[in-house]
Amino acid sequence: SVGSAVRTGPKAPDFRTASQTTHHVLARAEENARLNDYEQGVKTAFDSIVPTLKRISALQHEPDFESQAQAIARRELGFELPEDILADAWIDQLDMRHLYAGCTFATYHRFCDDFFTTDPLAVEDGEKNFNGGFEGFLQTCGFHTLDISPCADGRLAHLIRYVLRLPHRAVRRKSYAGALFDIENSVQKWVEVEMLRFRAGVPNTADAPTRYLKVVAYHYSSVDPEHGGCAAHGSDTAKAASAGLERLLGFQQAIENSFCCGASIDLLLIGLDTDTDAIRVHVPDGEGAMALDRYVDALELYAATARQDASRARHDIQDAVRQTSPGVAEGMARLIERLIENNFSQIAYVRDYHGDHYADIGHAERFIGAGVGFEEIQLRNLMYFAYLDTVEEAASDLDVGIRIFTELNCRRGLPVPVVVRFDYHGQVPGARERAVTRCRRVTEALQSRYRDLFGRGLLHVLQVVRDCNADAPIEILECTVNAERKAGGH
């Protein structure tokens, strides 16, 4: 039902090389190859942990176990295991829960360091610099800020950089279960952005006729609509979409009612099929109003334009957007066209590297991320993301995440690895100390809320902070893996 994956063009020597022609003239095959290399590299690192630990476990009663185990770990995982865990294996047996959590955190650490050192998802220099790059384009569309709230679901974690092919540093992202972002928090962010325009002319001056654009991305599953959709909305697509639209309108009204002088924001609702990564865009009409049943489906448009030349395909995207909502504002239309064209590359990406749809259409996150930050997480199904200041306010988001990991990990005896992370602005005195305090407070609240799991060794927490102004690597603080081991374990 998602169109046949007909391949055209010259035979490629290897199914996965960059030179292979993709399904669609607008899909960028080289970019896809580069993004796929990166995604596979990161996921392979995480997915090597379980088989490697299994191999090591099988050796635990051999005489030179420790040196054998370390040799395997170095070769397969790229780091050594904590010596004391290996040394204690003879007493009882190898503490696999601690090893698993420790290896997940070590892999995360290496992955982060790589991200902030080599900038693997940087956009091409050409795009970055032409006409002010994406920020410049966004302003010509009438927007000075793009703020996207996807669902916290890990299957949307690649929304910015992969699905929409946007430069991740140019977009604000805050993930919430069911995409139900916090209105008060968003009003504060809006105020901050407008303030900076007034005082500092960043990203443009306050008299420029641009607005703040808030986007909600809900999601659904074309392969298994009854079960593969949004857990926060009982896998009910209509409910996910209408809840997202309602939240958007609430945010807009909050701005309009709290500030005078015609203050307002623009809104956009997007749906994501997490099986094919195709988006649907609810094109706003001339008044900015959206309807749940009025959208452009990128997958249909992809199929319909697959065999055309580039300019004809672009023309058809334009037509589709305008036919959906004839009065749509010119700038909004241009932004949507760009999102759809970008999404074509991602549709081709899934087809090329995964087939009609992903094999892992369900949850397959490797860990939970809780806090503020996580700029490096731009990959699908790597992390369940709960944007939060406190466990108290984000309890339901966290409960969804813990439920997912109870299925994924605890069912087979593996712990839930949680990275608690707070990025801070290093130029503000005391900001690092406050981020550290926040990490500790959230960790304690997690251990208290999920005290049963924690008590059984099935919840492990790594605390991390990062100075996001300094382009710095992450800084590792406490970790329950070490703490418990020091205290003698369970």
Number of other residues whose CB lies within 10 A of the CB of residue 327 = 13
Q: Are 431 and 438 in contact (CB under 8 A)?
A: no
Helices (H) and strands (E) in the chain, counts: 16, 11
Under the binding rule (CB under 8 A), the answer on residue 250 touching its own copies is yes
- Regarding 390 and contact with its own copies (CB under 8 A), the answer is yes
User: In whole angstroms, what is the distance from residue 217 CA to residue 202 CA?
Assistant: 26
Nearer to its own copies, 239 or 441 (CB): 441
Give me the catalytic one of 153, 275, 277, 297: 153
Residue 326 binding result from its own copies, Zn ion, none, given CB thresholds of 5 to 8 Å by partner type = none
* Burial classification of residue 384, based on how many CB atoms lie within 10 Å of its CB (0-12 exposed, 13-18 middle, 19 or more buried): buried
Q: How far apart are CA 167 and CA 453, in angstroms?
A: 38
Residues 435-464 that bind its own copies (CB under 8 A): 441-442, 445, 448
Instruction: Please name which of 264, 274, 268, 272 lies closest in space to residue 291, comparing C-alpha atoms.
Output: 268
Q: Is 311 in the site for its own copies (CB under 8 A)?
A: no
Alpha helices in 355-430 (DSSP H): 395-408
Q: How far apart are the C-alpha atoms of 403 and 391, rounded to whole Å? A: 15
Regarding 183 and contact with its own copies (CB under 8 A), the answer is yes
Give, as one character, the DSSP assignment of residue 415: P
Question: Minimal distance in Å, beta carbon 27 to its own copies?
Answer: 41
Which does residue 184 bind out of Zn ion, its own copies, none, counting CB within 5 to 8 angstroms by kind? Answer: its own copies
- Sign of the dihedral through C-alpha 61, 63, 67, 72: negative
Of 34 and 239, nearer to its own copies (C-beta) is 239
Q: How many residues bind Zn ion (CB under 5 A)?
A: 6
Find how far residue 64's CA is from the centre of its chain: 42
Least separation in angstroms between CB 174 and its own copies: 16
Q: Is 236 a catalytic residue?
A: no
Give the separation between CA 190 and CA 209, rounded to whole angstroms: 16
Pick from 194, 277, 341, 376 the residue near its own copies by CB under 8 A.
194
Total residues binding its own copies (CB under 8 A): 38
- Residue 484 interacts with which of Zn ion, its own copies, none, CB < 5 to 8 Å by class: Zn ion
Q: Which helix (H) or strand (E) holds 215?
A: strand 211-220
Q: Which residues are within 8 A (CB) of 430 and not within 5 positions of it... i.e. 6 or more apart?
A: none
Q: Quick check: 457 binds Zn ion (CB under 5 A)?
A: yes
Judged by beta carbon distances under 5 to 8 A according to partner kind, the member of Zn ion, its own copies, none in contact with residue 441 is its own copies
Does 56 interact with Zn ion (rule: CB under 5 A)?
no
Interface with its own copies, residue 372, by CB under 8 A: no
Q: Which of residues 211-270 bind Zn ion (CB under 5 A)?
A: 230, 232
Minimal distance, residue 426 CB to its own copies, in Å: 9
- Residues 392-413 as b or e (16 or more Cβ within 10 Å = b): eebeebbebbbebbeebbbeee
Tell me the closest approach of the beta carbon of residue 100 to its own copies, in angstroms.
28
List the one residue from 319, 392, 407, 475 that touches its own copies (CB under 8 A). Answer: 392
Write out the catalytic residue numbers: 153
Binding site for its own copies (CB under 8 A): 183-184, 188, 191-192, 194-196, 198-200, 206, 250, 253-254, 257-261, 263, 389-393, 395, 425, 427-431, 434, 441-442, 445, 448
